[in-house]
Amino acid sequence: MGPRTGRASILLCVVLAATLGGAATAGPLDFGRPFLAVDPYDEVAAMGRGMNVLGHDPVWTDPTQTRFQARHFRTIHNAGFSTVRIALHGLRHMDSDGKLDPAWLATLDSMVAAALQADLHVSLDLHYYDECDADVPGCAARIKAFWGQIAPRYQDASNGLMFELLNEPHGKLDAKTWNAMLPDVLTIVRATNPTRNVVVSPAGWGSIDQLKNLELPAGDRHIIVTVHYYWPMTFTHQGARWVSSTANLSGIRWGSTEERAKVATDFDSVKSWSEAQHRPIFLGEFGAYDRGGADIESRIRYDYTVARQAEAHGFAWAYWQFDSDFIAYDMTTDAWVTPVLYALVPPADTHSARNDLTVGTRRPALK
Ligand code: GLC
């Protein structure tokens, strides 16, 4: 086999691997148009409506068990969404030296490529739970090691790909610790991605009342600030076993005039901070738990209210989440949970949304 044939065979293998979604390296996959620096306000405007995906999917530990398929990115796009936020438990897929598992990276490559090819913006979000409780310096080193591998890997990807440095800093990563760690993490990203938009959350679980404690490097103008909104927790997390204060609650309704007005005033305060700091906002998570005893009418009224208020305040948003819990999509029937979808993307808004949905599904009243 001469060198030409060899190259052709390698190319064929690469194309085949990419087609099957199983390529092992970043290079050959298509990560969208060449990178072009974009103002973060323009990026947020283009991100619009989004969906959290893959947070609890078995694909990360065993790709043969995947629930989420690459085609679901197209399903999400066709239903009227422009963004996906991919929740990554990257700190759990490293060896003791901080090296990311090549198989896990290959899965990530195929998901990123498929999402970008479906014309979606993609926020790669580093999620963690208790990994930083025992050893903060050790955890900081692993967070840096994570971005030290992910940032160069995707440095040529389209600007539609964004890096979200850390989901909901909490526990020992309080505002002081997080503010001190953040510039170092950002410096690692900036070494290979000087003008890519990076998404940053305040400490205190990304709660909106923590924005005032977030300190950002003043000279870096490619930052999008993200917050999460689950207030009131007694409603959104009733019956959720992972939140002890609300785990035993059920039957709490939501949607009074006062409750809806509170979302607007809460977002007014976010908007004031955003304007004062000149940082655009991505509401990266909101929603109400689906299996905890909340009624569906209250849940969709909540989803509708939060999504519309975010839009009225100029924030991009992403619903938590597509599959697993709070579900917008039912993997067992491979179909949208239409009341949730309709609350997020009102059917009149997009032609494709109308075409994609089951005809005859009653849209619950939104009062
Ligand atoms: C956070 C958690 C996630 C949880 C969600 C809603 O993103 O990391 O596990 O399901 O909030 O509580």
| Per-residue confidence (pLDDT) for residue 10, from 0 to 100 | 36
| Per-residue confidence (pLDDT) for residue 19, from 0 to 100 | 38
Rounded to the nearest whole angstrom, what is the distance from the C-alpha of residue 150 to the centroid of ligand 1? 22
Rounded to the nearest whole angstrom, what is the distance from the C-alpha of residue 211 to the centroid of ligand 1? 19
277 vs 311: CA distance, rounded Å? 19
pLDDT tens digits for range 136-155: 999 999 999 999 999 999 99
Q: Which of 52, 123, 285, 291 should be mutated for ligand 1, with most atoms under 8 A from CB? A: 285
Question: Which band of pLDDT confidence, cut at 50, 70 and 90, is reported for residue 348?
Answer: confident
- Cis status, amide bond into 280, omega within 30 of 0: no
- Please report how the helices 296-312 and 257-277 are oriented relative to each other, as an axis angle in degrees rounded to 10: 30
CATH number of 38-361: 3.20.20.80
Question: Is residue 268 predicted with pLDDT exceeding 90?
Answer: yes
Rounded to the nearest whole angstrom, what is the distance from the C-alpha of residue 351 to the centroid of ligand 1? 32
Nearest CA to ligand 1 atom 6: 320
Question: Which band of pLDDT confidence, cut at 50, 70 and 90, is reported for residue 20?
Answer: very low
Q: Tell me what the mean pLDDT of segment 124-138 comes to.
A: 94
For residue 341, the SS3 value is: helix
More confident residue, 176 or 11: 176
Measured from CB, residues less than 6 Å from any atom of ligand 1 are 127, 167-168, 285, 320, 325
Q: Tell me what the mean pLDDT of segment 237-246 comes to.
A: 98
Task: Please give the DSSP secondary-structure letter assigned to residue 34.
Answer: P
| Per-residue confidence (pLDDT) for residue 354, from 0 to 100 | 43
Average pLDDT, the chain: 90
Question: Which band of pLDDT confidence, cut at 50, 70 and 90, is reported for residue 28?
Answer: low
| Per-residue confidence (pLDDT) for residue 17, from 0 to 100 | 40
- Could you tell me which residues are beta bridge partners of residue 53? 86
Question: Is residue 112 predicted with pLDDT exceeding 80?
Answer: yes
Nearest CA to ligand 1 atom 1: 168
Rounded to the nearest whole angstrom, what is the distance from the C-alpha of residue 198 to the centroid of ligand 1? 21
**Domain range annotation of the chain:** 38-361
Question: Which band of pLDDT confidence, cut at 50, 70 and 90, is reported for residue 29?
Answer: confident
356 burial level (CB within 10 Å; 0-12, 13-18, 19+): middle
Q: Which of 129, 241, 320 should be mutated for ligand 1, with most atoms under 8 A from CB? A: 320
| Per-residue confidence (pLDDT) for residue 236, from 0 to 100 | 98
Percentage of the chain modeled with pLDDT above 70? 87
More confident residue, 119 or 361: 119
CA nearest neighbour of 89 among 129, 140, 51: 129
pLDDT tens digits for range 86-107: 999 999 999 999 999 999 999 9
| Per-residue confidence (pLDDT) for residue 358, from 0 to 100 | 39
Task: Please give the DSSP secondary-structure letter assigned to residue 207.
Answer: B
243 burial level (CB within 10 Å; 0-12, 13-18, 19+): middle
| Per-residue confidence (pLDDT) for residue 367, from 0 to 100 | 36
Question: Is residue 23 predicted with pLDDT exceeding 90?
Answer: no
